[in-house]
Amino acid sequence: MSTILASLALSFMQAATGAPAAAATDLPDLTLEQASGLRCSVAFGLVHRAQRDGELANYPVMAERGQEFFVRTTARLMDELGADRDTIMGLVVREHEEFGGSPERLDEVMPACLLMLDASGL
């Protein structure tokens, strides 16, 4: 499992930078909790990328906490859905596309995501 988690952590960085990932054609439906965790994971990746570029300093640094949240969330999704890495990355890509490069969308979700991050204990 640690190899998968390391691979997902690397994929987090790729997703955060917009690098292409394999898209699954048949993606599973997510519960509200699963979808929220995934949305926040992707949001943290986007904030991390912007912070590396010297932007979005108004948010807490996402490099470590955001990545750990992503790894835990995607590992939990793999377990709960019985999904493979490609399916999870398909979900990540789909969620990334939902943001559509919109800073306003990111600002909409970050307050709730930061609460979720704090509640996670990371």
**Over the stretch 48-78, which tens digit does the pLDDT of each residue have?**
888 888 988 899 998 889 989 999 999 999 9
Say what the pLDDT of residue 19 is: 45
C-alpha span between 116 and 27 (Å, rounded): 24
* Residue 48 covered by a domain: yes
Q: What is the model's pLDDT at position 93? A: 87
Q: What is the rounded distance in angstroms from the CA atom of residue 28 to the CA atom of residue 42?
A: 17
Domain that holds residue 102: 2-13+29-120
pLDDT in tens, 3-48: 444 455 555 545 554 544 444 467 888 999 999 999 999 999 889 8
In a domain? residue 84? yes
The pTM of this model reads 0.79
So what's the pLDDT on residue 26?
Answer: 79
Instruction: Examine residue 18 and state whether it is found in any structural domain, yes or no.
Output: no
Asked if residue 23 belongs to a domain, the reply is no
pLDDT of amino acid 18: 53
- Alpha-carbon span 46 to 99, nearest angstrom: 9
Task: Tell me if 59 sits within 8 A of 48, measured CB to CB.
Answer: no
Percentage above 70 pLDDT, the chain: 80
Q: How many domains does the chain have?
A: 1
